Each structure stands twice: as structure tokens, then as C-alpha cells.
Amino acid sequence: MDRVGHFIGGKHVAGTSGRFHPVFNPTLGEQSKEVALASRAEMDAAISNAQAAFPEWSAKSPIHRARVMFKYKELIEQNMQELGELLASEHGKTVPDAKGSVQRGLEVVEFACGIPHLLKGEYSDSVATGIDLYSMRQPLGVVSGITPFNFPAMVPMWMFAVAIACGNTFILKPSEKDPSVPMRLAELMLEAGAPPGVLNVVNGDKESVDAILEDPRIQAVSFVGSTPIAHYVYKKAAEAGKRCQAMGGAKNHMIVMPDADMDQASDALIGSAYGSAGERCMAISVAVPVGQEAAEALMASLRPKVETLKVGPSTDPDAHFGPLVTAEHREKVLSYVNLGIEEGADLVVDGRDFRMQGYESGYFMGGCLFDNVKPDMRIYKEEIFGPVLSVVRANDFDEALALPSDHEFGNGVSIFTHNGDAARDFARRVQVGMVGVNVPIPVPLSFHTFGGWKNSAFGDTNQHGPEGVKFYTKIKTVTSRWPGGNKIGPDFTIPTVKA
Ligand code: NAD
């Protein structure tokens, strides 16, 4: 059985804790590898390596670090097919979708190539006699990222590309479900010219996460995963005085106004609800048609498209989506479908019994579509994270606006309409962090920032873009006086600028 260890100080090291976690091939429905779960001592060694690498790396010029990022970009491009296939073999998403997710991470690397521009400080000349004032952005030191299974390349790259380009050294604790791509990303960073210890990957579970949260040498923690763990990480990191951003779960709505092009809206819905088997934090999992007529038209357009979704092995480039990540996760999703029926929602497309011919052990299920879901049902309130779309019918615009606004999660939302006034009003008033207008998955590009509201994100700064640079740097302000020939005597009052 293949074993995945850790990548510490520029070297592959085998796990020594004696604890392992199985890694599955979801298409085949069998274990393919096992990943080592680090002990505190192993995490400690990784942090020591990152700390030792920091003085030299942070002292490099911003352009030097940017050049490493340029080289890294080239290497990712050269290895795109391999990364996509590796990712798909452990996650289950299709290879084209997996490559797309690597590409979205690569865009953050591209953003990081231009970070020297954002590291510039500000300068004020002659703020008083002989006094100039300037600021500089400095890296924090050893920083860390804890990432989820659903984007094992993109989410780590959101974090470490920005952190490393800013001069920090990094400890990545990826998901134990699909650890191979993060290991490959670290190898490529070394090949691109980042010295050993700049990017370390420590595989593990809660024990490793707690070691990160408790070690005083870790200056900042970026987390992406489910809301209960995000909240736990945020509380513990804050208690320890660390900088923390912790992104959590989601329940993303798509409002379909009566004037929307229903064919376009249903096309957008099936891609965003069922792509990657619904295992995306920006997947649309709730459709909200406004008014009875829109609801009937949307269902008439949507239902046949859901019935004919093509589920396939992750190696089939024509499949719309592949299997779920693990058998356990599929059971959880299926139990939500059963719950929806018990709660009284209408299951109009039932994908529960789908079996993939030739891959009968794979963790597949077909797309499920619920109509007449009500806001008090658990299938509406909770994140399902599978190929299940709920339709909640709203009577009017205000009722539709209130649904995502009142929901505990506030990651993404979108509105489909031809009415510019309604779209503008919606975008301004809705209580959600990322909004799409006639765009089903409003994931901002790398030079903007990614982050939800309410229980979808804890902390003040978003991922990547200028917010990411702020997160991974601290600002220092210098007030300097060069008095020339002027003698300056004592002054016991607070310094003020004299008129
Ligand atoms: P998860 O919370 O189970 O795991 C995330 C990370 O936390 C992993 O590295 C895992 O090892 C670690 N972890 C798990 N249990 C822990 C515990 N008890 N203590 C400490 N650490 C623990 O999430 P997941 O299932 O891997 O990913 C899916 C979730 O991530 C979904 O809720 C999804 O919405 C969310 N997600 C959010 C975003 C976003 O930007 N908001 C992006 C991607 C995924």
C-alpha cells in the first residue's frame, strides 16, 4: 500500500507516529493509499524548519520572491495534466473539473507574481520640520494553512502563494482525504527555487491542527473547512493571540426572477448545483423562483436536465460529475435526501439508487431535486454538500431577498433577471459576502478577494487579493527626524504639528 508522509525542510519524510488515515479512489470505491497522521513532535520539527528558513527568505528582495512565483507558475502549467489526474483520483471530481480547480489556484500564483507592488509602503515628506513619516509592510514569520478536501490544490494556493510571496514561511496541513496533490505542490515550490523549509506540508488530523493552534511560533492561521471546525479554530487561534481567518460552510441561493430566461437559469443551476457532485462551497444548493409562474417554468425547464445528468468515473471527460469523496460522505448525503422526504419536501428527481455500470463499488449517486422545500426544514437549514438541489418557492422579491439574508450562512448568492433595478437593489441589500448577477458561481478572481459573511467566515480579512496581502503582513510606521543644524530642546507636551 502506497504511503503519503510529510514534506518538511525540502524533503519527503515518512510518518513516525504510527497513525494513518485511509485515502480512497472514489471512482473504484477502494482504498488506494494511506496517509500518515503527524504527531506533535513531527509538527514541531516542521515548525522549526519553517522558522529556520524565515530570516533568509524574508530578507530576499520582493522581486526575487516574485521570480520564484513566475517559475512556480511555469511548473504548475507544465504539470497540469498530472496534477488534474492525481486530484481526480483521490477526490472523485472529473479530470477537466480538477484541472479547472488547479487553474483557479494558479491564478493566485499569478497574482502573487505582482505582490511587490502591494508591499510598497507609504511615505509622507516633511510632516513637520525635518520629519518624514513612512510605513512598510513586513512578513509575519511562520504562518499556516489548514485546508478542506474539496479543493486540495486551489485552497492551499489561495493561502501559501500570497504568504510566501510576502516573505513568510508556511506550514500547510491539508485534508487527510486527498493529500497527494498538496505534496506535489510543495515539491514544485522547491523546484521553483523556494529554499527548503519555505513550504512544508504536514499531514494530520485534529492533533496536528491543535499543535498549530497552540505553538507560539505560528503567527497566523488561515483555515477553510466546515463551520463548526472553522469556529473552533478561530476561537483557539484568537485565544492564543494569533491572527486568524477561518472560512466555513455554505448554503448558496439562486434567485430566479419572473423575467429571467428560464433556459439560461436552469443551465446555470445544473452546472453550479451538480458540478463536482455539489462538493463546492460555492455550489448553488437552493433555487428560489419568484412567483408561481416562474416556479412552474423553472421546474419544467430544470427537471428534464436533472434527469439526464451524466454521472461518470472521474476519468470520463464527458461526465458532468463523478463520485462523492468517500462512502461515508455519500451515506451522509443520502441520509439528507431521506430526511427531506420525511420532512415533507417533494423529491421530484431521485438519484439515490444510481449505480455506475462497471464501477459498482464507486461512491456514486445521481442528482436529486427537491421541490416545495420550506425554510424550517433541516434540508434547507443545513449544508448537504452533495448533488442535491432544493427549490424554495417565494411569493415576491422581498421574500426571496430575505431567504439568503436570514440564513445562518452567507457565502455566495446569485440573482437571474433582466431587470437592472432589481439586480442592483438585490446586490446592495442581500446579507451575503459574494453576489452574482446572472452568474451562477460568483467566485471573485484572484486580484479581488474571496470570503463569505455570517457563519461562513470568521475573522476580518478575506482570502487572496489585497486582503490576503494584509493578512500575511504587518504594517510598521516610522517617524524620522533629521534636524540638520537645528537644535531641539526638551518638550514635555504631546508632540503636535504647530500651526
Ligand atoms: P472539515 O471541516 O471536515 O475539514 C477541514 C480541515 O479541518 C481538514 O484539514 C481537517 O483535517 C481538519 N479537521 C477536521 N476535523 C477537525 C477537528 N475536529 N479539529 C481540528 N481540525 C479538524 O471540512 P471538509 O469536509 O474537509 O470540507 C468541506 C467543508 O469545507 C464544507 O463545509 C465546505 O462548505 C467548506 N468549504 C468552505 C470554503 C469557503 O471558502 N468558505 C471553501 C471550501 C470548502
CATH assignment at residue 99: 3.40.605.10
Give yes or no for residue 484 having a pLDDT over 90.
Answer: no
Residue 486 covered by a domain: no
Residue 442 covered by a domain: no
| pLDDT, averaged across the chain | 97
**Ligand 1 center–CA 472 separation, angstroms:** 21
Same domain? For 279 and 308 the reply is yes
User: At what angle are helices 62-78 and 80-91 packed, to 10 degrees?
Assistant: 70
- Mind listing the pLDDT tens digit for each residue in 159-195? 999 999 999 999 999 999 999 999 999 999 999 999 9
**Ligand 1 center–CA 227 separation, angstroms:** 8
Same domain? For 270 and 178 the reply is no
Residue 213 covered by a domain: yes
Does the CB atom of residue 306 touch ligand 1 within 6 A?
no
Give yes or no for residue 281 having a pLDDT over 80.
Answer: yes
pTM as predicted: 0.98
- Mind listing the pLDDT tens digit for each residue in 64-85? 999 999 999 999 999 999 999 9
Does the CB atom of residue 247 touch ligand 1 within 6 A?
yes
Choose one of 224, 284, 333, 407 to mutate for the ligand 1 pocket test, by most ligand atoms within 8 angstroms of C-beta.
224
Same domain? For 403 and 471 the reply is no
Question: Is 244 part of the annotated catalytic residue set?
Answer: no
Residue 493 covered by a domain: no
CA atoms within 13 A on the CB side of 451: 23
Same domain? For 31 and 109 the reply is yes
Residue 492 covered by a domain: no
Residue 499 covered by a domain: no
Same domain? For 281 and 224 the reply is no
Find the domain containing 284 and state its range: 252-437
- Mind listing the pLDDT tens digit for each residue in 335-359? 999 999 999 999 999 999 999 999 9
Same domain? For 418 and 344 the reply is yes
Same domain? For 258 and 275 the reply is yes
Q: Count of domains in the chain?
A: 2
- Atom 15 of ligand 1, nearest CA residue: 206
Residue 445 covered by a domain: no
3-state secondary structure the chain: CEEECEEECCEEECCCCCCEEEEEECCCCEEEEEEECCCHHHHHHHHHHHHHHHHHHHHCCHHHHHHHHHHHHHHHHHCHHHHHHHHHHHHCCCHHHHHHHHHHHHHHHHHHHCHHHHCCCCEEEEEECCEEEEEEEEECCEEEEECCCCCCCHHHHHHHHHHHHCCCEEEEECCCCCCHHHHHHHHHHHHHCCCCCCEEECCCCHHHHHHHHHCCCEEEEEEECCHHHHHHHHHHHHHCCCEEEEECCCCEEEEECCCCCHHHHHHHHHHHHHHHHHCCCCCEEEEEEECHHHHHHHHHHHHHHHHCCCECCCCCCCCCECCCCCHHHHHHHHHHHHHHHHHCCEEEECCCCCCCCCCCCCCCCCCEEEECCCCCCHHHHCCCCCCEEEECCECCHHHHHHHHHHCCEECEEEEECCCHHHHHHHHHHCCCCEEEECCCCCCCCCCCCECCEECCEECCCCECHHHHHHHCEEEEEEEEECCCCCCCCCCCCCCCCCC
Q: Which of 216-225, 268-277, 432-441, 481-490 has the lowest mean pLDDT?
A: 481-490
CA distances from 397 to 302, 436, 473 (A): 21, 16, 42
Instruction: Indicate which CATH number applies to the domain containing 356.
Output: 3.40.309.10
In this structure, is the dihedral angle defined by the CA atoms of residues 235, 451, 154 and 327, taken in order, positive or negative?
Answer: positive
Q: Are 11 and 196 in contact (CB under 8 A)?
A: yes
Same domain? For 96 and 70 the reply is yes
Same domain? For 362 and 473 the reply is no
Q: Residue 1 has what pLDDT?
A: 85
Same domain? For 209 and 292 the reply is no
Q: Residue 123 has what pLDDT?
A: 98
Residue 101 covered by a domain: yes
Same domain? For 215 and 306 the reply is no
Same domain? For 56 and 178 the reply is yes
* Dist. CA 317–CA 27, nearest whole Å: 14
Q: Residue 467 has what pLDDT?
A: 97
**Ligand 1 center–CA 93 separation, angstroms:** 17
